[in-house]
Amino acid sequence: MAAAIGGLVGITLVVAVVVLARRSSRTPENVTPIVIRQNANGKAPEHAVLLHLRLSDPKFGTAAEVSACHALEERLRKEIERAGVGEMDGNEIGEGECVLFMYGPDADGLFATIASTVRAAPLAKGGWVIKRFGGVDDKNAKQVRIDL
């Protein structure tokens, strides 16, 4: 198996799989190129699920809301890890909302894993989810909003 990596951004990994038959000298038919697009850190592009939860004031919400946001983050982290569909990347709290950032190879599968827990959370009322089908640097990535 041979691999060649080139470029700094949008690295393309080319893998040639060579199937060698016994005593065969036919090389062109024995090489199958497989192209896997990767981002700059060597990973396949990731989809995102961004969960926006409204807080009761235009700044940081109450201590109970912040605590509930952290508790929901931990529940979702465990569900995502257990299902093996991606990762919880953390949160941002401010400007009247708590945003939870989740990434994985399939936004639909990631959201399907957490949807029932999210919809049951009291903070979900008035919130929404953005499913992004592509990397953060992909300006053409499709985005779908789901109101909760």
- Alpha carbons 32 and 24: distance in angstroms, whole number: 16
pLDDT at 30: 44
pLDDT in tens, 78-126: 999 999 999 999 999 999 999 999 999 999 999 999 999 999 999 999 9
In the predicted model, what is the mean pLDDT of residues 51-75? 97
In the predicted model, what is the mean pLDDT of residues 63-70? 97
Q: Which domains does the chain have, with CATH numbers?
A: 2-37 (no CATH), 47-147 (3.30.70)
Report field, pTM of the whole predicted structure over 0.75: no
pLDDT at 85: 96
Place of tokens 């999210």: 118
Q: Which tokens sit at 122?
A: 């009291």
User: What are the distances in angstroms from CA 88 to CA 45, 81, 94, 140, 148?
Assistant: 16, 8, 19, 23, 19
Q: Which residues of 57-78 are buried (b: 16+ CB within 10 A; e: fewer)?
A: eeebbeeebeebbeebbebbbe
